[in-house]
Structure 1
């Protein structure tokens, strides 16, 4: 592969709903441009981008993969992203490197939740986009229905650049609305010119008129010519539409078939003609000199000192470790010395690569704006900046969505805990939306992900790649225990076993402290030396140990004030251990007399859904003992529902929400406070704890 200049590079993310045909489209684009001699199929497990064993087995994309293709004078770095919401972090990584996007729509299924999510991603990152309606060879595909759905959602920005031609109910070609020329597909990605058929005219005229209006709005000269009834040349139309597409005011719609490679070359032409190179007038790339905090505008300038951004990390026991980078300024050569300011590491490179799926293609250099890979950077993570030690630079890190689905996990084989921990650490370097957390308080290890499917894939990968097995189970909710009334007790610990015995006697008062943030408060008001002062710390240690595991159901105790007010001691047999044990006995005895209760964690929940689903969401939250506090309108015809809800009721909520909203809802929550659990909940918690023991 040759080295390309910045202006000849296109970095294009492939987005869309899960199963809509993204990987098949990438495969067709690779085949048409000569990357492969035979087009791979998902069913056969031989596509370039879905090379992971788990992807081949499940027949859908799990990770973003890069597939560079070359067409005439240009290089297009295709970033094939997963469509399922459980792998949304991969999309964020891809869009951190992309300058344009193709949103793929299945012509039969139409606009789906993933289509809308893809649009929202492009809006978030300010990325120009093109819609490609694929599967047009299906007899039930309806291109104009898809166009109408898009117009209903996004208005006049939607501009069909192509219209399908059907002969004998079969998809055979397209009409280019920009050039007013027809194409008949002849197979293998090839085509021949043909006349525009009469039955397309009804759709062609309004589409053409809308494009001419968009062209006219790019300058006063064009506007005057348009109103005077003048015509525009094809080059003028393309130049004007390029401005509109780059600004996002026009979003082209094209059609074809990924499996038959129909319309693929037209899509590649659109990537080159209308999607931007990394150098864009309306986008500025700022980096900060960490020594001075001064910002610099680097803008993919090859004349500036080298800098690059790590947008993805691959840690694979089979293909090795690669840091995927986008060069933001200067040039990266195979013998370069690079510096990671945040990790304070400098390394001399011996090789740089371009990845095509799992294939690593060695390159002599990469220009600004290009995407490549560096092997074995052990101290470099996703989001890090690479630069020169003499000219250090740091780019702002991109953010991924936080994971809220979590499960308890345990190693299936005892003794594998360290292996599991190390494997998860490597997987978390690859996947920013995967989190492993050791919850010591509740004696459990937790695995956080974007959904049940995400966690299921993690379990499979651990077994397939790292040869360790884990079992997932329902997590233990972090309940608390406390008391509601004041109680006084006296407990004596006395033991005689020959020689020195054990003797400790405490009289203590237990009451609510009013502070549920603090486990306990210890005080004393002993008079007359009934308990010597040197035993006070032992009494407090007994309370400190007792609050770790409450007498009701074994959960941590909070909000208790313990006061030592009397007792007795033996000059020979008393010891710190005896008073500590007596205090523990007093705690247990008093706790069960002091109207003990279970406290449950309450979280503040935010659910964002299309307006039409708000009634269903509120009804469901009420069933889950949630309290709806308000609703706020948000962008795109959506509403944010705010509620307080017990954390225990959110188990499995990711799946429920997707089911209720067709995948169009999202949620987030944060801990708010503890509240007394209803009696039926308390009874169940106590019963479950008794079973566990």
Structure 2
């Protein structure tokens, strides 16, 4: 690697193609927001000849342009695909959002990729490798995905390159920091007035060659004696790190015995160690200067991708079954095998309709063929299960805002598919006569609620269709029609996620919605025994109404619901009307008593009553039962019950104290902690749900973006009197 300067094989505006899996590399870019991922993608596109020197394709757009929302919000909000060609290899670069709210897009990129580039900015502090980035690294470790690290923003660095590579080794290397080592060292020019020195080139540690980019293209030279001395220590450590991960067990003995291991052998071992996911090289990169044809470090990075990252054949596909759960052999990356593909992103285009980004794991996908679409279904998130045949439209590769037509998409490749109107993100495409279903990837739970209402009658007519399309595109959203509060609630991952959802509803689907206060489903119960008498007597013309009943109400333990007991003796309430009394009581309990919330956990005993042989009826005794319950409530304390959730909060040890203090401030009770790994703690607590509506946002602030949590309903329990009074006052004022 680094021993030759490859020339681009693509041309600006031409879509890269692949005819076999071995000629494909699928790479996902991971990094915190602002780390420079999108800029790096554009720099690689320029070096590969996919764009011209102005960074533009034929239609005048940048190669990564897609969503107008990204332009308005000045950040990446969705996964984007940029296909390049280098040295006869098609490279599918999957650029992911760096903001934590869009981790669903990141997970989709990880699913479609066979290797990951972690982009780290030197302009941040050494501690700036965000917790979300570390968490993604651990996900890659768990599945053995090959990884490399790219350092950006060296010209404005707060942290020196040497120091930052050491931080990467400590954070990403864990018990083996020598598995994370630099392949190149930067060359610096004269110091500028702002105190920073521009990076003018790189020194290849294995080849001991200098790569100078000052002319706008990489030029290779030999280092002087003084430069060789400077790189000797880093080179020796790199060689030892490569040999330690080598499959050739004799290399270490030869090296320790004083043998000089030739560069070709070292590069071969390095490439194999990277492809196996046991060695993670660190590189540096920067965008091209004005008028330059190549960005610094981009040639080296493209060489690493094409020669060190695995082909799709080398990565196992996710397990597959039949749609009804039957077992099937593992899918292999064979263009002639059975078709197994997966929708990794769904988007709507104003001109061509729905576009699905599809990764083919087996077989070959061709335009205008009929495929079977199998969906796991996530009913709780508004995604219905489905099992249908669909005829797909054209296949294409994205290029700016244009789509370049493809004749096919072979196993291992990624393409856009038009007119898949039923398929959603996460669905499986297979042959219509051999339906298959891939094991789904893990989606984060949306934990930030937003209650919405249509802005006008015209918006109300379009709201249902707009929301269904929205959740079809983004499975990390959950749409809920709450049966207790009768609110329409959109659950998202954070405030930025909510902003994008509302923006898409407005700009893409023409639906304007208003945010309304989110209501937690409360309950009421009796605080003491009480009695009530319901009298419903009317004799004003026509058929009269007559019904009287006397009841006793007593509280029950939490979770008991409503229990109805008949203790009428002597037939004072005819047997046919006793169910009517119960029906009226239960209807009134559902409507609530003191503050309009359902009544629970009481036993209602029917003691006595009166009936009329002509004027009594089912309706009259229902009304009397409701009146009796309301009268009993006037003479008894009515407690307001609030739902309590169990929170499980996973945070680094440094933030355990602030997290526990924050929970206490929310009227929460910490019920236990346990150590997870060497540096994290799981805090378990019970907290009223009225206090955690915005916890997804607040935890991110308290833990500096490193905390994660889950929540589950435990029970309803009495609300403190001062809080209950405030809720009742708000209910009376219509808030």
Contact 1:525 1:564 in 2 (8 A): yes
Query: Residue deviations 1:23-51, cap 9 Å, x none?
Result: 1111111122121114449xxx9533242
- For residue 625 of structure 2, the aligned residue among 583, 591, 597 is 583
Give the aligned partner of residue 201 of structure 2: 173
Alignment partners' CA distance in 2, 1:199 and 1:684: 76
Aligned to 1:692: 734
Residues 187 and 262 of structure 1 are in contact (CA less than 8 Å); yes or no, is this contact kept in structure 2? no
- Who is 1:560 aligned against? 602
Cα offset for 1:289?
4.4
* 2:193 aligned partner: none
* Correspondence 1:527-542 to 2 at 5 A: 527-542=569-584
Q: Which whole-Å CA distance do the structure 1 matches of 2:628 and 2:229 have between them?
A: 88
Structure 1: distance between partners of 2:631 and 2:227: 86
After superposition, the C-alpha distances for 1:427-448 in whole angstroms (9 at most, x for unaligned) are: 1111111112111311211110
Please say if 1:245 is aligned against 2:274.
yes
Contact 1:135 1:141 in 2 (8 A): no
Counterpart selection for 1:228 from 208, 232, 257: 257
- 630, 655, 664: which one aligns with 2:706: 664
Residue 185 (structure 1) aligned to one of 213, 217, 220: 213
Residue correspondence of structure 1 range 13-24 to structure 2 within 5 A:
13-24=28-39
Q: Retained in 2: the 8 A contact 1:307–1:327?
A: yes
Q: Displacement, 1:145?
A: 2.2
Deviations 1:41-78 (A, max 9, x none): 9xxx9533242111001111001011101112101001
Shift of 1:335: 4.9
The alignment status of 1:308 with 2:335, answered yes or no, reads no
Over aligned residue pairs, what C-alpha RMSD do you find?
2.2
CA distance in 1, matches of 2:144, 2:631: 64
CA contact (8 A) 1:407 1:475 kept: yes
User: Are 2:80 and 1:80 equivalent residues in the alignment?
Assistant: no
Task: Name 2:9's counterpart in structure 1.
Answer: none
The equivalent position to 1:476 in structure 2, one of 492, 512, 519, is: 519
Q: CA deviation at 1:140?
A: 4.2
CA contact (8 A) 2:392 2:419 kept: no
Instruction: Tell me the SS of whatever aligns to 2:733.
Output: helix
Kindly report which structure 2 residues correspond to 1:411-426, keeping only aligned pairs within 5 A, or say none: 411-426=454-469
Matched, 1:97 2:112: yes
Q: Residue 576 of structure 1: CA displacement?
A: 1.8
**How many residue pairs were aligned?**
687
The separation in 1 between residues aligned to 2:586 and 2:498, in whole angstroms, is 37
1:137 maps to which of 150, 155, 159: 155
Deviation digits for residues 183-229 of structure 1 (CA, Å, limit 9, x no counterpart): 111355x2111333667657633332222223323122212211221
Structure 2 residue matching 1:628: 3-state secondary structure: strand
- Any idea what SS the aligned residue of 1:555 has? coil
What is the CA–CA distance in structure 2 between the aligned matches of 1:366 and 1:679, rounded to whole Å?
Answer: 64
* Contact map agreement 1:40 1:48 (CA 8 A) in 2: yes
Q: Give the direction of change, closer, same or farther, for the CA distance of 1:139–1:352 in structure 2 (3 Å limit).
A: closer
1:654 is aligned to 2:680: no
Distance 1:442 1:289, change over 3 A: closer
Matches within 5 A, 1:638-653: 638-653=680-695
Are residues 523 and 152 of structure 1, via their aligned partners in 2, closer, same or farther at CA, if it must alter by over 3 Å?
same
Distance of 2:45 and 2:431 partners within structure 1: 35
Q: Which of 274, 281, 300 in structure 1 is aligned with 2:308?
A: 274
Whether the 8 Å CA contact 1:289–1:296 is kept in 2: the answer is: no
CA contact (8 A) 2:334 2:363 kept: yes
Contact 2:51 2:63 in 1 (8 A): no
Paired with 2:479 and 2:713, the residues of 1 have a C-alpha distance of 18
| CA distance in 1 between partners of 2:230 and 2:483 (Å) | 65
Partner of 1:265: 299
Q: How much does 1:348 deviate?
A: 4.4
Show the counterpart of 1:164: 186
How far apart are the structure 1 equivalents of 2:226 and 2:526? 80
Post-superposition offset of 1:231: 2.0
1:285 CA drift (Å): 4.7
| Residue 293 of structure 1 pairs with residue 326 of structure 2 | yes
Q: Deviations over 1:203-260 (max 9, x none)?
A: 6333322222233231222122112211222221122112222333211111121364
Report the counterpart of residue 146 of structure 1 in structure 2: 164
TM-score for the superposition, normalised by structure 2: 0.89
In the alignment, is the contact (CA less than 8 A) between 2:124 and 2:158 conserved in 1?
Answer: no
> How far off is 1:411 after superposition?
1.2
Q: Could you tell me how far 1:515 is from its partner in structure 2? A: 4.9
* Alpha carbons of structure 1 residues 333 and 316: separation in structure 2 relative to 1, 3 Å: closer
Q: 1:606 Cα shift?
A: 0.9
Aligned mate of 1:128, from 146, 153, 158: 146
Match of 1:622 in 2: 664
Moved more, 272-281 or 8-17: 272-281
Alpha carbons of structure 1 residues 139 and 669: separation in structure 2 relative to 1, 3 Å: closer
Is residue 442 from structure 1 mapped to residue 475 from structure 2 by the alignment? no
> Contact 1:23–1:50 at 8 Å: present in 2 too?
no
Partners of 1:47 and 1:378 lie apart in 2 by: 28
Distance (whole Å) between structure 1 residues aligned to residue 681 and residue 286 of structure 2: 36
**Cα offset for 1:329?**
1.4
1:388 pairs with 2:431: yes
| Higher mean C-alpha displacement, 178-187 vs 395-404 | 178-187
Indicate how the Cα distance of structure 1 residues 140 and 441 shifts in structure 2: closer, same or farther if over 3 A, else same.
Answer: closer
Matched residue, 1:31 = 46
- If the length of structure 1 is used for normalisation, what is the TM-score? 0.95
